[in-house]
Amino acid sequence: MLLHIPQVLNPEQVQFMRRKLDTAGEAWVDGRMTAGHQGASVKRNMQIAENSPLARELGDMILAALERNPLFISATLPNRVYPPMFNRYEGGMHFGSHVDGAVRLIPGTGEKIRTDVSATLFLAAPEEYDGGELLVEDTYGAHSVKLAAGDMVVYPATSLHRVAPVTRGTRLASFFWVQSLVADDAQRTLLFELDTAIQRLTASNADEAARVHLTGCYHNLLRMWSKP
């Protein structure tokens, strides 16, 4: 499931991050430093060093925002979230077609996270740069994603995807992965659609007994499929 989650960050938060990233200096490093064998040959961008205080400061802001975002929680059913990272594309930089690694080691912890869901949080407005679309492929073809600053897209980490070359301006974004309570994308999608339907029925004051029954079905499916 590919889903647009609007306004994860408000304009003030976006501007705060932009000021920090625009003056980060030597905290920016070659993005290939964190690429696996598959990605290193097709990755051309810059990233904020994962172990830098700036990455932790801004990452904590994003994690706090995600905790307050019901759409993100409903769609991803997060068990663990990889510390958000930050990248920059300009002057023709791009990231060729690849699939994210299935397991990532969280730096400095020795702990590993399974990457069920990939997320990109846009920090530059679309009109600030040309190119830079995130292109995510599924059975229906390639979907082009270029969102407003502060908006986020989530999609299955199993997807083949790429970032088109940036030919003008600078594309800034945060990216990270979610280990979901429900690893299977089809099951996660079904639960999201059921949760969305229950919320709509609640908002319309539909039959209470039916809503209770559906809510019970949702939690029983989640209980059946979740793997904490």
Task: Give me the tens of pLDDT residue by residue for the chain, a chain 228 residues long.
Answer: 999 999 999 999 999 999 999 999 989 999 887 765 555 679 899 999 998 999 999 999 999 999 999 999 999 999 999 999 999 999 999 999 999 999 999 988 889 999 999 999 999 999 999 999 999 998 888 899 999 999 999 999 999 999 999 999 999 999 999 999 999 999 999 999 999 999 999 999 888 999 999 999 999 999 999 987
Specify whether the CB–CB gap between 195 and 154 falls below 8 A.
no
Question: In what side-by-side order are the strands of the sheet with 43-44?
Answer: 43-44, 94-98, 161-163, 134-138, 141-145
Instruction: Please give the pLDDT value at position 36.
Output: 58
Instruction: Please give the pLDDT value at position 228.
Output: 76
Question: Residue 161, Cβ neighbours under 10 Å: how many?
Answer: 24
Question: Residue 188, Cβ neighbours under 10 Å: how many?
Answer: 23
Specify whether the CB–CB gap between 16 and 163 falls below 8 A.
no
Assign domain 185-225 to its CATH architecture.
Answer: Irregular (4.10)
SS in 3 state form for 152-193? Answer: EEEEECCCCEEECCEEEEEEEEEEEEEEECCCCHHHHHHHHH
List the one residue out of 96, 117, 62, 221 whose CA is nearest residue 164: 96
Specify whether the CB–CB gap between 182 and 222 falls below 8 A.
yes
Domain coordinates of the chain in residue numbers? 3-180, 185-225
Q: Give this prediction's pTM.
A: 0.94
* Class of CATH domain 3-180: mainly beta
